[in-house]
Amino acid sequence: MSDDTKGAGGTKTDAARDDMPIGSLARLTGVKIPTIRYYEEIGLLPAPTRSQSNRRLYAARDAARLAFIRHARELGFDLDAIRILMALQEKPEQSCSEADGIARARLAEVEDKIARLSALKIELEHMLEGCAHGRIATCRVIEVLADHGKCRHQ
């Protein structure tokens, strides 16, 4: 396997270049090799060029695209939304209203999840406040879990 580019002082780095093997691309972007192959399979990444020995070779633009996908996934965007956002990226002259709509929908999902987690936190706090640290027969935690009707979160 060829060395990646050498940085200052001769240390090995994963600088983006146009002939990166999949391992270098994975190190550079922090995306695992099976995930890179999956993104190729579903069309989020284009099929890479191949070396004479049939090894995948990636370009700097592939690294940028993969970094975009990774960041979007970290923010919780689903693959369909990412596919649309990447398609929009190919038309820089058009309105960004569709991208805004996708981001607003994701924000609404996050706000909903925060609300549900906040309600869950409050319910767990109530369970623990009601616990007298006595016996299981009088344990508020067990009582609430056994009877969902006594649960305050909905």
- Which of 50, 71, 94 marks a domain boundary? 94
Residue 42, φ and ψ in degrees, nearest 5: -90, 5
Do 24 and 66 fall within a single domain?
yes
- Tally of domains in the chain: 2
What token pair was written down for 83? 């596919």
Do 55 and 74 fall within a single domain?
yes
> Is the predicted pLDDT of residue 87 greater than 80, yes or no?
yes
- pLDDT, tens digit, for every residue of 37-51? 999 999 999 999 998
The rounded distance, in Å, linking the Cα atoms of 19 and 56 is: 9
DSSP letter at 19? T
117 in a structural domain = yes
DSSP letter at 57? E
The count of other CB atoms within 10 Å of the CB of residue 52 is 5
What is the extent of the structural domain holding 154? 97-154
- pTM strictly above 0.85: no
- pLDDT, tens digit, for every residue of 95-112? 999 999 999 999 999 999
